[in-house]
A and B are shown apart, each in its own frame.
Chain A
């Protein structure tokens, strides 16, 4: 029996995430419209919006994954409600601080706040420390949450079991549910990248408060920034996958997925390789040692391919020539996995050193990461939200409306992404507030992208209304 408190906290997470998502999409559409010259934003406003959009999106889809994992984990182990609440409060405070530093203080160094931009790109002097503190607040809340979930799992499973190492021997005597394995692998990765963020923030604060007496090494800071940023952006996808491993078969009326030696191997490889894949962000940094560049390319392949392979295999086996109870939730999971795979391929193309010479910092980059986020991870979490909101209600959803919602999401999403991909293939640079005349296609593509994104937004609004209504009911219900 899921504790009533956990139900309520999860409902709150769902409503907050969807609300912030709508706001962040609007910022995204404004950026596209500005790039298309339909509206005129000052460059500072554009980059402020870009910073808020990027960091809010990463934050909300990370916490969405965590909230889902936490909710489902209660089936296996007891989870800490205070840790969940602390994370919620810290996330809200962190986001408010972030918005104050950006919207009021005009901090606009992008969500990766690449050194030395944090010390240069703001209009108010307090904006930089406030921005850094906002990351610290988010990080502390999330670290506490992760550690509490890891502790919960380790109470029940031994270290070897939680990583499913018994499957590497013949005849394993104990079982590790795939959900537990993937959650553990992912949470350890998240803790690692949050620790990288701690070191990063300490170094940035040291420079800030020493008033220039202490100067950082740009290469070190860039490595740490992507250790944190790239890793968390990828790990949050795996949180969604953990949920799919648990729920896809269940919702589809199929037997539960089991851990096998190859699932265990694939996910254990993922743990190591995802922590080293970020080196592919430094291909253009000639001072980075060559060995790390090669490791970056290998890790990019090895972090994504095994996990994607076993997941797609498991889904294909589950649906191939069998009758499935298709609901909106497992449809969202299914389409989400396709989006993840397509985006992953786009990422692997970009992570290949020879291709990166051409694609580096072009629109190809937002193309692939928006694919596995907007059409991947978002759908994983929406699937969970949808399933969750129906768990505690007797009403069924209207099928016609479901089809319409899905249509808006998929049609709008594909058009929005296509504009990015075509722009990337045409070498149009990313992060330009206004495109110069040298890129004749850029403005048209931006308008097309913005229009399709508006269709995607309509789909999200329909989901938002539908899911939030039920979540608000759960929130204010008296039942246990």
Chain B
């Protein structure tokens, strides 16, 4: 009887596991948070020589790491970012810095990219290249890998929020909605956000489930698990009691 119950339970549990267990490697938004970003010298597409710290001092910066020959995630990332920021009306105290992490990219390439997205005359957006890309990406914890077969970088879609003091205050991996971008803009403006869920983690036994649409937490399975030991021990007590008295009767 027990076997009949336990086996299906284990099977169902493991099926659920495989659904929920997306690999998390590369989804680590917490890496290098609250660390100083490397103050890389950069050249903007208008020819201006500046640095990340200097830009951030004027206004906190959202850095998007892309390259112009990307046939994958770079364009969707910039497109989504552009659309989401257009929807954001609450806080305009930021600039976006699109930096190429491909050393083959030159100023004309970046200029063309800005033009393609119709962002070349937008005061919120800067496109740039740097000759210190390795130091910059290692201070962020961004690790693109060159794939020689497809002649493309294998990389995350990454946005990095840098506050006016040059600290990385938040990262967003993947294509994310405007609510999460609002959180990022808040964070680079030193507005404290008590909780938000990190992406890619198994949510099966969370105490709370964060709803990014409403911005609210709802009680989750985890809270039940905290009560489970007490429930199990009451059951155990009843079972032991039944068991010892049944043995006596026999």
Q: Which residues of A contact B (CB under 8 A)?
A: 147, 150-151, 154-155, 159, 188, 191-193, 195-196, 199, 203, 210, 212-217, 219-220, 223-224, 227, 275, 286-287
Q: Which of A155, A193, A219 contacts B207 (CB 8 A)?
A: A219
Q: Which residues of B contact A (CB under 8 A)?
A: 17, 20-25, 194-195, 201-202, 204-208, 217, 220, 222, 225-226, 228-230, 232-233, 236-237, 240-241, 243-245, 248
Q: Which of A151, A155, A213, A224 contacts B226 (CB 8 A)?
A: A224
Q: Which of A150, A214, A286, A287 contacts B21 (CB 8 A)?
A: A214
Q: Decide yes or no: A275 and B230 within 8 Å by CB, A159-B237, A287-B194 being known contacts.
A: yes
Q: Looking at the assembled complex, report how far the CB atom of A368 sits from the nearest CB atom of chain B, in whole angstroms.
A: 25
* Chain B residue with the shortest CB-CB distance to A213: B21
> Which of chain A's residues have a CB closer than 8 A to the CB of B205?
203, 216-217, 220
Q: Which of B25, B208, B229, B244 contacts A193 (CB 8 A)?
A: B229
| Given A199-B229, A219-B222, 17 new contacts (CB under 8 A) | A147-B236, A150-B240, A151-B244, A154-B245, A155-B244, A155-B248, A195-B233, A196-B229, A213-B202, A215-B201, A220-B205, A286-B194, A286-B195, A287-B194, A287-B207, A287-B208, A287-B217
Q: Which of B21, B204, B244 contacts A154 (CB 8 A)?
A: B244
Contact in complex: A154, B240 (CB < 8 Å) = yes
Sample 19 A-B pairs with CB under 8 A, ordered by A number: A147-B240, A151-B244, A154-B240, A155-B248, A191-B236, A195-B232, A213-B22, A213-B23, A214-B21, A214-B204, A215-B201, A217-B220, A220-B225, A220-B226, A223-B207, A223-B226, A227-B229, A275-B230, A287-B207
* Chain B residue with the shortest CB-CB distance to A217: B206
A210 vs B21: C-alpha distance when bound (angstroms)? 9
Contact in complex: A212, B248 (CB < 8 Å) = no
Q: Looking at the assembled complex, report how far the CB atom of A265 sits from the nearest CB atom of chain B, in whole angstroms.
A: 20
Q: Looking at the assembled complex, report how far the CB atom of A139 sits from the nearest CB atom of chain B, in whole angstroms.
A: 12
Contact in complex: B241, A154 (CB < 8 Å) = yes
Q: Which of A151, A214, A286 contacts B240 (CB 8 A)?
A: A151
Q: Which of B17, B204, B225, B245 contacts A224 (CB 8 A)?
A: B225
> Which of chain A's residues have a CB closer than 8 A to the CB of B206?
217, 219-220
> Which of chain B's residues have a CB closer than 8 A to the CB of A223?
207, 222, 226
A219 vs B230: C-alpha distance when bound (angstroms)? 18
> Which of chain A's residues have a CB closer than 8 A to the CB of B24?
212-213, 215
> Counting chain A CB atoms within 10 Å of each CB, which of B17, B205, B206 scores highest?
B205
Contact in complex: B237, A150 (CB < 8 Å) = yes
> Which of chain A's residues have a CB closer than 8 A to the CB of B204?
214
> Which of chain B's residues have a CB closer than 8 A to the CB of A213?
21-24, 202
A210 vs B25: C-alpha distance when bound (angstroms)? 12
Q: Decide yes or no: A151 and B207 within 8 Å by CB, A196-B229, A220-B225, A275-B230 being known contacts.
A: no
A275 vs B220: C-alpha distance when bound (angstroms)? 21
> Which of chain A's residues have a CB closer than 8 A to the CB of B241?
154, 159
Q: Decide yes or no: A188 and B237 within 8 Å by CB, A217-B207, A224-B225 being known contacts.
A: yes
Q: Looking at the assembled complex, report how far the CB atom of A295 sits from the nearest CB atom of chain B, in whole angstroms.
A: 12
A210 vs B17: C-alpha distance when bound (angstroms)? 10
| Top 9 A-B pairs, shortest CB-CB distance | A220-B222, A195-B229, A196-B229, A213-B21, A192-B233, A215-B201, A217-B206, A219-B207, A155-B244
Q: Looking at the assembled complex, report how far the CB atom of B239 sits from the nearest CB atom of chain A, in whole angstroms.
A: 10
> Counting chain B CB atoms within 10 Å of each CB, which of A147, A159, A220, A275 scores highest?
A220
> Which of chain B's residues have a CB closer than 8 A to the CB of A212?
23-25
> Which of chain B's residues have a CB closer than 8 A to the CB of A192?
229-230, 232-233
Contact in complex: B244, A191 (CB < 8 Å) = no
> Counting chain A CB atoms within 10 Å of each CB, which of B23, B25, B230 scores highest?
B230
A195 vs B225: C-alpha distance when bound (angstroms)? 11
> Which of chain A's residues have a CB closer than 8 A to the CB of B22?
213
Q: Which of A151, A155, A217 contacts B222 (CB 8 A)?
A: A217
Q: Decide yes or no: A214 and B202 within 8 Å by CB, A147-B240, A199-B225 being known contacts.
A: yes
A219 vs B202: C-alpha distance when bound (angstroms)? 14
> Which of chain A's residues have a CB closer than 8 A to the CB of B225?
199, 220, 224
> Which of chain A's residues have a CB closer than 8 A to the CB of B244?
151, 154-155
> Which of chain B's residues have a CB closer than 8 A to the CB of A193?
229
Q: Looking at the assembled complex, report how far the CB atom of A55 sits from the nearest CB atom of chain B, in whole angstroms.
A: 20
* Chain A residue with the shortest CB-CB distance to B248: A155
Q: Looking at the assembled complex, report how far the CB atom of A153 sits from the nearest CB atom of chain B, in whole angstroms.
A: 9
> Which of chain B's residues have a CB closer than 8 A to the CB of A214?
17, 20-21, 202, 204
> Which of chain B's residues have a CB closer than 8 A to the CB of A219?
206-208, 222
A203 vs B205: C-alpha distance when bound (angstroms)? 9
> Which of chain B's residues have a CB closer than 8 A to the CB of A203?
205
Contact in complex: B222, A191 (CB < 8 Å) = no
A158 vs B226: C-alpha distance when bound (angstroms)? 29
Q: Looking at the assembled complex, report how far the CB atom of A356 sits from the nearest CB atom of chain B, in whole angstroms.
A: 19
